[in-house]
Amino acid sequence: MQKSWGFYGRNADLSEIDRILDSGRWFFCAISGRRRIGKTTLIHQALRKRPDLDRFYVQIPDSDERGVVQAFQDAFEDQASARELVEIFQDVLTFSDLSDAIETLSQFGWVVIIDEFQYFHRQALSPFTSLLQAKVDRLRDTEKGGIFVLGSIHTELTAVLEDRSSPLFNRVTHRLHLNHWDFETLFEMFARHGVINSHHWLFLWGLFEGVPKFYRDVFERGLLEGGDDIAVARRDTLRGLFFEGSSPLRDEATNWFLRELRGRYDSILQILARAGTCSHAQLKAEYDRAGSGGEKQLGGYLAALIDRYGIVEKLHPVFATKGSRKARYVITDNFLSAWLKAIGRNVSMARVQPIEQPAARADKALMSLEGFVFEKMIRLLLEECSRKGKGDFSLTDLVRGYWNRADGSDIEIDIVALNEDDRIVRFGSCKRSADQFTGDSLAAFQDHVNRFLRTKEGRRLTGWTAEQALYCPAFADDDRRRLCRDGRVLRDLNDFKQMLYPN
């Protein structure tokens, strides 16, 4: 079992950065991704193999011109080793001086890494982009050095670099977008650190999805392995990460997610967090009940949460058109959803109650949320296995569910997976425990499938081979003997682990 934290996955991203560094040309590369996803770690990992390249890293504060210049001065004082280069920053007092210094670094062959670059979209900092444009235009035909700009808010980074009105429009030479760890990387990390309980995998993924920094926080608190008792592991992880005085994540959502939103969208997110998934009618009814600004305001806020921040997703049932009234809304980020539904309010209560009480309430609320989380997990696992050619079902489209009413009051199927090439459809039912697959629940699942096949959408599958699959975190041998009848497919998280990371 590995005793230190390592660098996991990201092989394709590392290869792309290697190609950029080896191109023999000056570059201006934009790297985007949510906070804590590992943008800075990726760059440093790539440059670790290149001791021949000097590098300079600075994180931009959400400040004014003087604050940004001071951040550059402090960072260079901490990192520079050559005296003549230190002197470059001694007389830097303005954005103009700063752009000159960056140009000089490139001429010396340095790699400049500017983190939180999206803050230059702020009005107070935007003049810097015009000054940088002139330097980029002069440097782009040279043969050494380069700039990596990193951004946590994709839309604001895009506005700085890609809006036609932006001075830096069409100046970027390379782009990378970092997504969550995939499941193959996650299973590798779990294996190396002795995390073997599949219910523990669900708990951790339900909180942290594929965000590397959060798993490292768990590791550094000595809580990653978890032990044999999953109930104790859940309790200890929640206490250590959120409820104790030195807990590293107790202010994470407030400081990063919700501060960026500046409070304007809080009521919508709170409604969605409580509901798990929510139709537009349900969302509007709750929003109006709070005395908010009506349909137009709700629509504007939803559009921003979906298109600008990527925090909310609009889900459609299989075969539905984009404008379907059956759409549902859901918070896309597991961490934010868990914070709003279960953790945040209980962290506040821990200020006046013994920690055990609010921590237990948070854990109970998380268990109810994990039903939605597990469905999402299975959909993504099926897609990754198919994409990598490692699964038992070849997809020709993204995995969706089906519901004929947005509120889920009639036909509801968790998983509908399509293989149009071979005309096979797989219907899936997801449960947090194999015990929940009772005779009644299986009969209801069969009934929902039969009724779906008689709908307008379902008749599109006439003549196809239909499979039924049951999914849960772990099936015991007795469960498999009990449930594996009538051609049913049973898949648990251990099965997916074997498909993706059999080591």
State residue 202's pLDDT score. Answer: 97
State residue 324's pLDDT score. Answer: 83
Provide the residue range defining the domain that includes 448: 374-500
Residue 148's beta-bridge partner residues? 29, 113
Residue 32 sits in a domain whose CATH number is: 3.40.50.300
Question: 199 lies in a domain?
Answer: no
Q: What percent helix, strand, coil does the chain show, rounded to 5?
A: 50, 15, 35
Question: 285 lies in a domain?
Answer: no
Question: 324 lies in a domain?
Answer: no
Question: 209 lies in a domain?
Answer: no
Residue 257: what residue type?
A: F
**Residue bearing tokens 């309430």:** 361
The number of distinct structural domains making up the chain is: 2
Question: 391 lies in a domain?
Answer: yes
Give the end of a domain, one of 129, 144, 177: 177
Alpha helix stretches (DSSP H) within 124-179: 127-139, 154-162
Give the end of a domain, one of 118, 144, 177: 177
State residue 84's pLDDT score. Answer: 57
Give the end of a domain, one of 177, 206, 233: 177
Tens digit of pLDDT per residue, the chain (503 long)? 788 999 999 999 999 999 999 999 999 999 998 888 999 999 999 999 898 898 899 999 989 999 999 998 888 878 766 555 666 777 788 999 999 999 999 988 999 999 999 999 989 999 999 999 999 999 998 998 999 999 987 677 888 998 899 999 999 999 999 999 999 999 999 999 999 999 999 999 999 999 999 999 999 999 998 888 999 999 999 999 999 988 899 888 777 665 666 556 778 888 998 888 888 888 888 888 766 566 778 888 888 888 877 889 999 999 998 778 899 999 999 999 999 999 999 999 998 999 999 999 999 999 999 999 999 999 999 999 999 999 999 999 999 999 998 887 899 999 999 999 999 999 999 999 999 999 999 999 999 999 999 999 999 999 999 999 999 999 999 999 999 877 899 999 999 999 999 98
In the numeric block, which tokens belong to residue 186? Answer: 């996650």
State residue 261's pLDDT score. Answer: 67
In the numeric block, which tokens belong to residue 131? Answer: 């000054």
Question: 340 lies in a domain?
Answer: no
Question: 300 lies in a domain?
Answer: no
Read off the pLDDT of residues 215-246 as tens digits, 9 standing for 90 and up: 999 999 999 988 889 999 999 999 999 999 88
* Dihedral sign (CA 375, 381, 382, 384): positive
Give this prediction's pTM.
0.92
Write the DSSP assignment of 394-461 as a string of letters.
--SS--EEEESSTT-SS-EEEEEEEETTTTEEEEEEE-SSGGG--HHHHHHHHHHHHHHHTSTTGGGG
Write the DSSP assignment of 10-33 as a string of letters.
-HHHHHHHHHHHTSSS-EEEEEE-
CA distances from 325 to 279, 280, 404, 407, 414 (A): 9, 8, 10, 11, 19
**Residue bearing tokens 């196809």:** 464
Question: 18 lies in a domain?
Answer: yes
Residue 391 sits in a domain whose CATH number is: 3.40.1350
State residue 347's pLDDT score. Answer: 93
